[in-house]
Structure 1
Amino acid sequence: MTIQQHKGIYTFHTSFGKISALKENGVIKAKSIRYARSQRFKKPESLEYTENHKIPEKTPVCPQNVSPLLDRLIQKTDVEQFEPDESPQFLTITRPENFNEDEKLPVIVWIHGGSYEIGCGDLPTSDPSIWVKEQNIIVVSISYRLGLFGFLGGNEERPANLGLYDMIAALEWIKKYINDFGGDSENITLFGQSSGGDAIAHLMISEGTDNLFRRAIIHSAPLGFRINRQKMSSEFYRKTDLLKDEPDPLKMIESYVNFLPSFRKYGLKTSMPFCTQYGYPPLCREEESIAKWKKNAGTYDVLIGSNQDETAFYVKTAKEGIYTYLPHKILNKIVRKTTESIYEKPARIFAENFAAGGGNIYQFVIQSTLQNNYIGASHCVDLPLIFENKEAWKSAELLKDVPWEYIQENGKKLRALWAEFARTGAISEDSERPEILKLRKV
């Protein structure tokens, strides 16, 4: 690895080309490196070389609608910080500032959530700097196509699972070039939350992923939404066909939401209209998935789990609709029942099936131990624990009743455990557990 510094700009001299990076808060960040290109509804084409990577002024993102719910619960989206790009195949590498040139660091690949519809890899609320410094690891955050562009298809003209293909292209790039940044290409762990966790579970049974990663950390994957989606996806695909040739991608994403109310007949899964699609490459048929996970169990080490009160995020803070009029006791029952059906039970089935196949798998639950925390350990509450960034999370309604010291104390212990798993594939019985964590080897 060759690295030069000039006026605060670092340059990595890699086999992919010259990569610019900045020093920030004790880490070096190479931001928004393009790993592939794509045309609309086409598979990504990998890049072999970059002439001279420069850090862009704005973060490139897949065109998407801003979510008022996430604006309120996590962080207000400053649209001026982002540049919509229909080919959003970019990744950001964060590594420690101080390093031994001969050392190869464990690599964790962050795959963001957002219902396959919103988000990107490089956000202040998923800044891995503190984790990277504390644990001497490298984190690579990837972006990929979302929504209409990446997770809705049905034929050769508009293929399904293009977002999965983007992730595979990113993993191929990381496998090939991460050594040039001081990473260990033989020790790559995928880490994803929500739809990012769901994507990782499906990358474990996708064609073309052999030897691209060794371990998986899966947070809050809505695996209860993965089955019996074909009718809804087909109807959504047909109704949006008239948008496929719209030259303005922003008009496309503004228009598709008009069709969403018509899918309410499909039940709770309507809240996640986009998803991976079985029966289309690189995935198997739905009825083959359980057996395939079991067959591949010996290939990966897995850490899977969820938060105790996942759906409180949606149920208890609703500003309109039926939930706003229900008593607290009823809301708690709804949260418990939906959390169990969408997250807990499917994760337990996944873990037990994986263990039955001889796999090494741990299951966890994150809970709140605070007395006056109305929404408890809800969806996304794990993110500030891993990605500690007080400035980014200071206005999050999600943490309204949570002292920041509580996040810091529990987060530091959780980050240490997860890094231990990424290094070794195991968590020692002697390692200190945060009070919020229940963890078992399955």
Structure 2
Amino acid sequence: MNIQNQTKTHTFHTSFGNITAFHENGVLKIKNIRYAHSERFKLPTGLKENDSEQILDKTPVCPQKLSPFLDRLIQKTNPEDFIPYESPQFLTITRPEISETQEKLAVIVWIHGGSYEVGCGSLPTSDPSVWVEEQKVIVVSVSYRLGLFGFLGGTDERPANLGLFDIIEALKWIQNHIENFEGDKNNITLFGQSSGGDAIAHLMISEGVEGLFHRAIIQSAPLGFRHKRQKMSEEFFLKTGELKNENDVLKMVNSYEKFLPSFRKFGLKTSMPFCTQYGFPPLCKEEESLSLWRKNASKYDVLIGSNHDETAFYVKTAERGLYTYLPERILNSIVRSTTQSIYEKPAKIFAENYADGGGNIHLYKISSLSAESYTGASHCIDLPLIFASKTAWKNSALLKNISWEYLFQEGRKIRALWADFARTGQIKDVLHKSEILKIKKINNADSR
């Protein structure tokens, strides 16, 4: 299909109804298509034939609190741009405006981060338009239930892992319908950052995902927080029981903080109170996870990595508290040790375990873009490298003293690598010229 940019919109006539696409910056953006329905604390249900819904004016999101922290570091949120939906199962498709080949396009499914608590698939700071236009891939951005609605449960009345079930329904929708948009349903790569990366790692060992995706790019997943959460989750779940029938969803999300477990009692993992929960569908028990990743290693090509100074995002940007008055050398030491324990070491263990199962896996690290950057290669610094919207990122405190031209140049190299991995499952040395990226293939124990 050769779509001429003569009008601002284009209508796709699909098997599930007519869908409107917008011509924007050299791409077609098909906004906010519903992929499933849900009721509170119920499993999502797929759509019936012709049961389509598309929201064009605002972005639907799971009810959540605004984060002054993220407003300050990344981008200020305008609440008027969003609609709180307790059933937020929507996705947005971004594809090249003009198809230059008869071949179907590789599909990358974006699973956003936000500590399983905030965010949505379609934010300006994760707009994939530049990436899609450059690399001629399709990016599908998925929203799903968060917080109390999606990642805290423990009974049949309030099941755990509902957000994971939402993502699985999105993947089923993509399998059934992406060919309507020239996507290749047999070449699906999941790409997620932070909790989105953690979700992808756990989808790899979830029930009911067979054949739904083929590759995974796992960026800055806090896998160090996945261990021994059961008691903390159970306490948090029980204390928030009084909110389960609250009609006002915004009151729900503004009230649960008073029930958060204490820091001293459960340690650093309290900073991410919502998470996937082992021992509840669709997941295995925690002690079975490593062996199951090893067993599934032949199913998925994997690219996994982190940034060199991940926790500077939190440690060096606090406005007040424990870290505020510490000397920089001590702050740097805290950043290094916590980055290693929460991100680097768990990713290395994951990669080596996966390689021992015969899996095709590469491990990478992103370093700082500027010696003048106070936060270095912190958590989220990878996002503007991939989602290179200068307008969205222009006021980000994370990019202070970093040249946008240099960031864009280095990002272009990484965007090419990631897209080629999505197409082929391989990392080509000829493309690997980035000054800030170190990457290597992990071999099994016999050859290490």
TM norm. shorter chain > 0.5: yes
Deviation at 1:260, TM superposition (A): 2.0
Indicate the residue corresponding to 1:97 in structure 2. 97
Indicate the residue corresponding to 1:87 in structure 2. 87
Deviation at 1:50, TM superposition (A): 3.7
Between the aligned partners of 2:250 and 2:364, the Cα distance in structure 1 is 39
Which amino acid in the other structure matches residue 204 of structure 2?
Answer: M
Cα deviations across residues 308-344 of structure 1 (Å, max 9, x unaligned)? 0000011011110010110011000000000000000
Q: How many residues align?
A: 442
Between the aligned partners of 2:136 and 2:4, the Cα distance in structure 1 is 20
Indicate the residue corresponding to 2:253 in structure 1. 253
Is the Cα–Cα contact under 8 Å of residues 33 and 52 in structure 2 kept in the other structure? no
Q: Could you say if the C-alpha distance between residues 241 and 51 of structure 1 is closer, same or farther in structure 2, counting changes exceeding 3 Å?
A: closer
Deviation at 1:258, TM superposition (A): 1.2
Between the aligned partners of 1:289 and 1:86, the Cα distance in structure 2 is 31
State which drifts further: 16-25 or 378-387. 16-25
Secondary structure, counterpart of 1:324 in structure 2: coil
Between the aligned partners of 2:395 and 2:4, the Cα distance in structure 1 is 38
Mapped pair 1:334 → 2:321: no
Q: Could you say if the C-alpha distance between residues 126 and 369 of structure 1 is closer, same or farther in structure 2, counting changes exceeding 3 Å?
A: closer
Indicate the residue corresponding to 1:288 in structure 2. 288
1:266-415 maps to which residues of 2 (within 5 A)? 266-415=266-415
Deviation at 1:259, TM superposition (A): 1.6
Is the Cα–Cα contact under 8 Å of residues 306 and 366 in structure 1 kept in the other structure? yes
Secondary structure, counterpart of 2:438 in structure 1: strand
Mapped pair 1:234 → 2:224: no
Deviation at 1:372, TM superposition (A): 1.1
Deviation at 1:48, TM superposition (A): 3.1
Which amino acid in the other structure matches residue 225 of structure 2?
Answer: F
Deviation at 1:16, TM superposition (A): 1.7
Q: Could you say if the C-alpha distance between residues 437 and 51 of structure 1 is closer, same or farther in structure 2, counting changes exceeding 3 Å?
A: same
1:107-122 maps to which residues of 2 (within 5 A)? 107-122=107-122
Secondary structure, counterpart of 1:160 in structure 2: coil
Indicate the residue corresponding to 1:149 in structure 2. 149
Deviation at 1:117, TM superposition (A): 0.1
Is the Cα–Cα contact under 8 Å of residues 5 and 11 in structure 1 kept in the other structure? no
Deviation at 1:401, TM superposition (A): 1.5
Cα deviations across residues 138-177 of structure 1 (Å, max 9, x unaligned)? 0000000000000000000000000000000000000110
Indicate the residue corresponding to 1:66 in structure 2. 66
Is the Cα–Cα contact under 8 Å of residues 105 and 138 in structure 2 kept in the other structure? yes
Which amino acid in the other structure matches residue 92 of structure 2?
Answer: T
Cα deviations across residues 33-88 of structure 1 (Å, max 9, x unaligned)? 00000000000010133466544311000000111111100000100100000000
Is the Cα–Cα contact under 8 Å of residues 145 and 166 in structure 1 kept in the other structure? yes
Is the Cα–Cα contact under 8 Å of residues 61 and 120 in structure 2 kept in the other structure? yes
Cα deviations across residues 174-210 of structure 1 (Å, max 9, x unaligned)? 0110011000000000000000000000000000000
Deviation at 1:4, TM superposition (A): 9.8
Q: Could you say if the C-alpha distance between residues 438 and 11 of structure 1 is closer, same or farther in structure 2, counting changes exceeding 3 Å?
A: same
Is the Cα–Cα contact under 8 Å of residues 369 and 402 in structure 2 kept in the other structure? no
After TM superposition, the runs of 4+ consecutive aligned structure 1 residues lying more than 4 A away are: 1-7, 51-54
- Any unmatched runs of 5+ in structure 2? 443-448
Secondary structure, counterpart of 2:149 in structure 1: helix
Is the Cα–Cα contact under 8 Å of residues 207 and 282 in structure 1 kept in the other structure? yes
Deviation at 1:364, TM superposition (A): 0.2
TM-score for both structures, normalised by structure 1: 0.98
Is the Cα–Cα contact under 8 Å of residues 26 and 97 in structure 2 kept in the other structure? yes
Deviation at 1:407, TM superposition (A): 1.0
Indicate the residue corresponding to 1:423 in structure 2. 423
Which amino acid in the other structure matches residue 176 of structure 1?
Answer: N
Between the aligned partners of 1:280 and 1:207, the Cα distance in structure 2 is 11
Indicate the residue corresponding to 1:32 in structure 2. 32
Mapped pair 1:185 → 2:185: yes
Q: Could you say if the C-alpha distance between residues 100 and 378 of structure 1 is closer, same or farther in structure 2, counting changes exceeding 3 Å?
A: same
Deviation at 1:269, TM superposition (A): 0.2
Q: Could you say if the C-alpha distance between residues 51 and 87 of structure 1 is closer, same or farther in structure 2, counting changes exceeding 3 Å?
A: closer
Is the Cα–Cα contact under 8 Å of residues 33 and 92 in structure 2 kept in the other structure? yes
Deviation at 1:133, TM superposition (A): 0.5
- Any unmatched runs of 5+ in structure 1? none
Percent identity of equivalent pairs: 68
Between the aligned partners of 1:262 and 1:218, the Cα distance in structure 2 is 29
Deviation at 1:8, TM superposition (A): 2.2
Deviation at 1:103, TM superposition (A): 2.1
Deviation at 1:5, TM superposition (A): 8.5
